[in-house]
Structure 1
Amino acid sequence: MEKPGFVYIVTNKRAGTLYIGVTSDLVRRIYAHREALIDGYSKRHGCRILVWYQAFEMIEDARYREVQMKEWQRAWKIRLIEVMNPDWSDLYPSLL
């Protein structure tokens, strides 16, 4: 049985540093970002605010989308966020 997956974007502030990731458990992963439990780029830059995500039926599709998005221009990523979340609100509470 295939696992579902999510691609997500976390940031440190509106139009700030963007981090794109993939996970099979969005709530757990964003909690880890918020609590700075994950060493690396997102922790160094304070990316703790969930501003965008997309669900997939299969984790492999989410991974493919993540690779695509990491190649995008910054302006495209910002536009994607603003279509779903024009105020750059933290979407984490809506997941709980």
Structure 2
Amino acid sequence: MIALRRTSFDTPCRVEVELSDEYCRANVVLADDYEIGPGDRVRVHGAPISVGFGERRVVERIATVERASTMERLWTKFAGHFEMTELYEVSFSDRTTV
């Protein structure tokens, strides 16, 4: 079936936030292992989570998942190829700056 418009649903999620000398990360894990595809959006509800240096917090929240329409998904995949070329414009040289 071809989706012509966005659909959305709410699901429980786990938010993991860590700030240390090894990590500066935030990760959202959706319940039931929902797979997120190109163009999909996930909005986590609740107050902002703050952690001090050297801390890690895990919080249970509710997230709204918006599934992209078929056209949005195709466009996101297409546009992503052009965004990827920015990564190729990096060069490494043996020159040293004084």
* More helix, by proportion: 1
> Under a length normalisation based on structure 1, what TM-score does the superposition of the two structures give?
0.24
Larger radius of gyration between Structure 1 and Structure 2: 2
